[in-house]
Amino acid sequence: MSVVAHPTDEPNPARPSGPAQESPPVRAGVFENGTWRHGELTHEVRSPYDGRLVAVVSHASAKEVSRGPRSAKRLAAADRARVLRACAEGFETRRAEVAASICAEIGMPVTDAEKEVDRSVRWLQLAAEAVHHLDGTSTRLSGPGGDRLAVTTPQPYRRVLAITPYNRPLAQLIVKVAPAMLAGAPITLKPSERASASAVSAVEILLDCGYPPEYLSLWTGGPEVAQALLADPAVDFVAFTGSARGAGAVAATAGPRPGCYELGDVGALVVCADADLPAAARAAAQGAFGNAGQSCRGVKRVLVAEDVAEEFGRLLAEESAAWRVGDPAERTTRIGTLIDPGAVERVRTAVEAAVRDGAEVVAGGEYRGAQCWPTVIGRVDPGARLVTEEFLAPLAPVVTLTDRALDDLPDSYPGGLQVGVFTRDLDRAMNLAQRLPVGTVVLDDGPQYDHPLAPFGGVGHSGHGRESVLSSARNMCFAKTIVFPAPTEGPR
């Protein structure tokens, strides 16, 4: 099947049409020192599906960013747990409202947006349960002057700076906020400018639920705002999720400060010749097409043994037919939009280049406005841009290799976040799992698997550090050791 685009004479749903809309009130985009205020820049939030104006948020400029220490009274563990439980209940209560906002801002199907809220609630709940598990150690120190006791405890950093992307606008904030409260660390949020309305709503809910204002700041705006926040000497730790290019700019300014960097990947699903092919095709479709492919841990390429490649491709094409593209507000829609038409054009260009080099579009290959249909591409060259660069789109590029080459994959794998492996041979599965230089190997499922208690993070170009409820909280603390004096000699 060749690459097909919708006729150019059809209306582009990503462009506003019809009568002029009444502009909604401008929402304050900065929360600092316990106060909401407006930035000097005005940002219109338009639906990538139909172009309608859904919100207006005031963004800050770099020169407005304030710096310096802020005082925050140390919260007891019981109080931190109470705050986290209250926030979980607050998001659960406002699930429909929050999901509708996410759906309108970034074109995520409303059913996926509801799962986004559910995931955030689960993080908050587990963080509340984990508060009393963030403990230290003790060591007896023997020396010529007598025995001493060293107690090492986790001490929260003065302030954490969290820089987050647009593709999961609520969950990416909460996976930073929940561990920060677990640790007792104040946090400053700098969300993507493409998801600022969702960030404002999230902070409003957190504050309504009793999140201490002195523990939370929000700055909306462009990359220059992030750079200004990094210049704050009170920021002791950086939690970054985004592109490798963005991470380079952040790290250059952050310097030697500790941080956790999650940088995405071209995540692979490995399908060996002895795999359960129907199960592998289902996992490939879910990993490649879920959230319109806009997930750092999704399936970005499928590496299939040549003996089963034809049958696997047919099964995957059949799976793709079930992924309905449409209005993200409709509950039957499984793929809404990409973030904007420019993202779709980038996809189209890469697919067409792969086809010129011998690949074949087996299913999909349709585009309209900011929408991209689920696309299965066979016979993709292993060096094609389509599989060497990360595309946040519903693409399933299939690369055919010999079955032996799949066993040798760890020798040439460049590092990454997660890999899924389908094989019925347990020894083979364990060999790949132990040798692949990635943060997680998922057996008999796709690389998209996640759980708040499972440490998540990459190797090499995919970043460093690990995120989970407890791993992230420990990241946001430094170890402080207190040495008690040796007991004085005296009567017993």
Mean pLDDT score, 212-234: 96
Quick one: pLDDT at residue 134? Answer: 93
6 pLDDT band (50/70/90 cuts)? very low
Quick one: pLDDT at residue 367? Answer: 97
Mean pLDDT score, 16-28: 73
380-387: long-range contacts, CB 8 A cutoff, minimum separation 24: 380/301, 380/354, 381/354, 381/357, 384/350, 384/353, 384/354, 384/357, 384/359, 385/350, 385/353, 385/354, 386/301, 386/350, 386/351, 386/353, 386/354, 386/359, 387/266, 387/300, 387/301
What are the tens digits of pLDDT across the range 354-394? 999 999 999 999 999 999 999 999 999 999 999 999 999 99
Mean pLDDT score, 94-121: 98
82 pLDDT band (50/70/90 cuts)? very high
Q: Token pair of 374, please?
A: 């689920």
Dist. CA 265–CA 17, nearest whole Å: 37
Mean pLDDT score, 89-107: 98
What DSSP designation does 212 have?
Answer: -
Alpha-helical (H) ranges within 305-436 are: 309-320, 341-356, 385-388, 403-407, 409-412, 426-435
Domains of the chain: 75-263+458-480 (3.40.605.10), 268-443 (3.40.309.10)
Q: Which percentage of the chain shows pLDDT scores above 70?
A: 95
Q: Token pair of 227, please?
A: 């750079």
Dist. CA 436–CA 271, nearest whole Å: 15
Residue with the two structure tokens 């759980």: 451
How large is the angle between the packed helices 171-183 and 196-208, nearest 10 degrees? 40
Does pLDDT of 455 surpass 60? yes
Phi, psi of 375 (to 5 degrees): -125, 125
Does pLDDT of 490 surpass 60? no
- Angle (CA) 111-105-173 rounded to 5° is 80
Mean pLDDT score, 307-322: 98
What are the tens digits of pLDDT across the range 414-441? 999 999 999 999 999 999 999 999 999 9
Quick one: pLDDT at residue 7? Answer: 33
What are the beta bridge partners of residue 449? none
Mean pLDDT score, 243-262: 95
What are the tens digits of pLDDT across the range 36-65? 999 999 999 999 999 999 999 999 999 999
Quick one: pLDDT at residue 333? Answer: 98
What are the tens digits of pLDDT across the range 139-189? 999 988 889 999 999 999 999 999 999 999 999 999 999 999 999 999 999
Does pLDDT of 4 surpass 60? no
Q: Has this prediction a pTM greater than 0.85?
A: yes
Report strand pairing: 416-422 vs 438-443. Answer: parallel
Does pLDDT of 69 surpass 80? no
444 pLDDT band (50/70/90 cuts)? very high
Does pLDDT of 11 surpass 80? no
- The answer to whether 455 and 114 are in contact (CB under 8 A) is no
Quick one: pLDDT at residue 5? Answer: 36
User: What does 427-458 look like in DSSP terms, one character per residue?
Assistant: HHHHHHHHHS-EEEEEETS-TT---TTS-B--
Does pLDDT of 8 surpass 70? no
Does pLDDT of 405 surpass 60? yes
Dist. CA 56–CA 200, nearest whole Å: 11
What are the tens digits of pLDDT across the range 276-308? 999 999 999 999 999 999 999 999 999 999 999
Q: Where are the beta strands (DSSP E) in 97-169?
A: 137-141, 148-156, 160-163
Q: Report CA-CA distances (Å) from 102 to 98, 218, 359.
A: 6, 18, 35
10 pLDDT band (50/70/90 cuts)? very low
Quick one: pLDDT at residue 473? Answer: 98
Quick one: pLDDT at residue 491? Answer: 58
26 pLDDT band (50/70/90 cuts)? very high
Q: Token pair of 75, please?
A: 């919260």
